[in-house]
Amino acid sequence: MTSGILHIAALLKKDILLEIRQQYTFYGILLYVASTIFVLYLAMGEPEAIVWNGLFWMIQLFICVNAVAKSFLQENSGRMLYYYSIAGARQFIISKLIFNAVLMIIMSITSLLLFRLLMGDPLTHPWKFLMTVCLGGTSLSLVFTFLAAIAARARQNAALIAIMGFPLIIPQILLLMRVSNTAFADVLQGGYGQMSLLLAGLDVLVISLALILFPFLWKD
Amino acid sequence: MRWWKILCVALLLYTFTAGFLIKVPDIGNLHETIRNLFFHVPMWFGQLTLISVSLVYSVLYLRKPDTKYDIYANEFAKTGIVFGLLGLSTGMIWANYTWGAPWNNDPKQLGASIALLIYLAYFVLRNSMTDIDKKARVSAVYNIFAYFIYVPMIMVLPRLVESLHPGGKGVEGNPGLSGQDLDPVMRMVFWPAVFGWTLLGVWITTLRLRLQLMAEKKYSSFAS
């Protein structure tokens, strides 16, 4: 059991080191975030709360697809064979899930700051929104990480990740929009706790599915 | 002809005749259009059954990589999509007359469209790979993943969003089938209809399966 955790930690460390040294991916996604939000600001100005919320989550969706796609596509098949020989499938996918979740949370917080800076600040409960953003970023990244693992086997097409991902991400997006709406006004949203639990439950479901199914993808 | 094919034809003939002849309750603005219940709702049951069978074969493939299972999973998914399209179109025609417009942002319509998108993505994924074993394995994984996210989704979605369908928001129990809607006379035609349409879906799939299995045998005999 401890050796499993050591493997995961080692793989995580490898990913983080790669990010720090080969700064292309991290800064690439950061620039993508900044450019997209900037273009959006020029197009939309300072929208009202509901539109702000909707635009925010749509941007998160596209950022997630790009961020996660990059993290899987940069491994070529020779390196994958090396990982296969030194670590188990479960450890590999857990390390990828954790890494992408952390990456997505960083990107989400960055885009939240940029949104508040450029597109106005309609938030009445900023901390609540921040928590929702972290939960939402994690949820999105979990689904897309697994789909990127699938697409990595299928000629590594980034568009394929989006095609497979968008229908599956719909319940999470709907839940996130409803939950985050409470941060904008003092609306008595019934079932707020229930929806957050539902989101967390969906995350657990995705993680367990990924853990069960990834070993089948792994062998080649 | 096998017994279940004869049963299928008999049930469907019964549905078509009894469906139009029995006395139906006059609810709201539905009037006679409530008869669509015998054609629209069974499409949904049929789709769910066919997709579930596709899932079972995907799981079987992962346990024992036999190409036959992959062919089965693929064909059942295809027929499931056809039923989904039919369900969506019969629903849209019905909605046009009762709800005012063909597309109403209703969660069940959304759920059905999401299923369509998921399985179209399944077919795109299959086509992106040429290696047969890889294709079968990766698409089996996606099939299972998508199914287990999709089924909770369609149970959760109608409860989250206000629905024009019977038994929508605020009603306990399954929004799919509100007990009060099915008066006993309609029930007599409804359940046979469900069974008949599902059997038809299975029949169509078995025909395609026989074709695919023969093609598979022909092509693999060249290799061996």
Min Cα separation A117/chain B (Å): 32
Specify the pLDDT at position A140.
Answer: 93
In angstroms, the CA A206 to CA B152 distance is: 12
In angstroms, the CA B55 to CA B61 distance is: 10
Compute how many other C-beta atoms are within 10 angstroms of the C-beta atom of residue B50. Answer: 25
Angular region, A120: left φ>0, alpha ψ -120 to 50, beta rest = left
Q: Does A168 touch chain B (CB under 8 A)?
A: yes
Q: Does A175 touch chain B (CB under 8 A)?
A: yes
Residue A116's Cβ-count burial label (10 Å; 0-12, 13-18, 19+) is middle
Comparing A116 with A82, the larger pLDDT belongs to: A116
| Count of all residues that appear for chain A in the document | 220
Min Cα separation B136/chain A (Å): 11
Q: Does A153 touch chain B (CB under 8 A)?
A: yes
Compute φ and ψ for A10, nearest 5 degrees: -65, -45
Closest residue to A174, CB basis, from B138, B152, B160: B160
- Region A53-68: mean pLDDT is 91
Q: Of A168, A148, A12, A161, which is closest to residue A71 (Cα–Cα)?
A: A148
Token reading at A175:
């839940």
Separate counts of helices (H) and strands (E) for chain A: 8, 0
Mean pLDDT of chain B: 82
Percent of chain A beyond pLDDT 90? 29
Token reading at B212:
């695919």
Judge contact between B14 and B199, C-beta under 8 A.
Answer: no
In angstroms, the CA A102 to CA B149 distance is: 23
Residue of A nearest to B129 (CA): A154
DSSP A163-193: HHHHHHHHHHHHHHHHHHHTTTS----TTHH
For the segment B167-223, what is each residue's pLDDT rounded down to a tens digit?
Answer: 443 333 334 444 445 677 778 888 888 889 999 999 999 999 999 999 888 888 766
State the residue for tokens 């999470």.
A172
Q: Which pLDDT band holds residue B81 (cuts at 50, 70, 90)?
A: very high
In angstroms, the CA B189 to CA B17 distance is: 10
- Among A99-103, A105-109, B30-34, name the one with the lowest average pLDDT: B30-34
Comparing B224 with A122, the larger pLDDT belongs to: A122
* Chain A environment of B127 (Cβ under 8 Å): none
Q: Which pLDDT band holds residue A220 (cuts at 50, 70, 90)?
A: low
Q: Which pLDDT band holds residue A7 (cuts at 50, 70, 90)?
A: confident
B→A contacts (Cβ < 8 Å), by residue, are: 62, 110, 114, 117-118, 121, 124-125, 128-129, 134, 137-138, 140-142, 144-146, 148-150, 152-153, 156-157, 160-161
Comparing A214 with B163, the larger pLDDT belongs to: A214
For the segment A164-180, what is each residue's pLDDT rounded down to a tens digit?
Answer: 999 999 888 888 888 88
- Among B86-90, B119-123, B164-168, name the one with the lowest average pLDDT: B164-168
State the residue for tokens 């039923």.
B83
DSSP B77-121: HHHHHHHHHHHHHHHHHHHHHHTSSS----HHHHHHHHHHHHHHH
* Chain A environment of B125 (Cβ under 8 Å): 150, 154, 160, 164
| Cross-chain residue pair B129–A155, CB shorter than 8 Å | yes
Is the per-residue pLDDT at A1 higher than 80?
A: no
Closest residue to B128, CB basis, from A160, A195, A213: A160
For the segment B94-152, what is each residue's pLDDT rounded down to a tens digit?
Answer: 888 877 888 877 777 888 889 999 999 999 999 888 888 889 999 999 999 999 988 88
In angstroms, the CA A143 to CA A202 distance is: 10
Residue of A nearest to B139 (CA): A150
* Chain A environment of B110 (Cβ under 8 Å): 170
State the residue for tokens 């994958």.
A80
- Among A23-32, A60-69, B138-147, B196-205, name the one with the lowest average pLDDT: A23-32
Buried b / exposed e over A122-140, threshold 16 CB at 10 Å, is: bbeeeebbeebbbbbbbbb
Per-range mean pLDDT, top range of A82-96, A182-196, B29-43, B83-97: B83-97
Q: Which pLDDT band holds residue A158 (cuts at 50, 70, 90)?
A: confident
| Cross-chain residue pair A216–B141, CB shorter than 8 Å | yes
Comparing B64 with A189, the larger pLDDT belongs to: B64
| Cross-chain residue pair B149–A170, CB shorter than 8 Å | no
| Cross-chain residue pair A160–B152, CB shorter than 8 Å | no
| Cross-chain residue pair A205–B152, CB shorter than 8 Å | yes
User: What's the gap between Cα B47 and its chain centre?
Assistant: 1
